[in-house]
Amino acid sequence: MQIEAVKGDITLLHVDAIVNAANQALAGGGGVDGAIHRAAGAAELHKACAKIGHCDPGDAVATPGFKLSAKWIIHTVGPVWHGGGHNEAAILASCYRKSIEVADRLQARVVAFPAISTGVYGFPQDQAAHIAVDTLRSIDSSTVERSILVAFDDSTFSLYNALLSS
């Protein structure tokens, strides 16, 4: 699987699936979660998420993309940072693995990921970037040909590029 980094708005990408850094209730929120809900059509996406009901940290579920260019939204719940001693790294790695598993089931060939858990959940950007790149590199996907790590800011974009070039 090819992995690349881009800087921009994940909701504008023309990919098969975008990953949403969701909350456990799949209720929409701030940051990338709120942006995805607004861009997809909040009412339709809320209904679809309500039917699913819940997603545990480290797991992933899918809904249609509704008004997005992406056919699918893969919702994953990252860990809240509590200093690193509460299995946060393993849960974050699971978010990437489970999202690719869901993408495989959906037959998605190109998947875009935000920087999961680095916003209000407080996961340190450098550690999260390492986990994202290392985990995606370790996955042997049957369907996904390309994963795009989408950075909203320059520092995350630089981290991804440095890791991907090493």
Cite the active site residues: 33
Q: Please choose, from the candidates 120, 123, 126, 135, the residue with its C-alpha nearest in 3D space to the C-alpha of residue 157.
A: 126
Where would I find the H helices in the chain?
Answer: 31-40, 42-52, 88-106, 125-138, 154-165
Amino acid type, 116? I
CB 21, CB 76: distance < 8 Å: yes
Count of CB atoms within 10 A of residue 50's CB? 11
- Work out the end-to-end distance of the chain between its first and last CA atoms, rounded to an integer number of angstroms: 16
For the sheet containing 2-7, what is the strand order?
2-7, 146-151, 110-113, 17-21, 72-76, 60-64
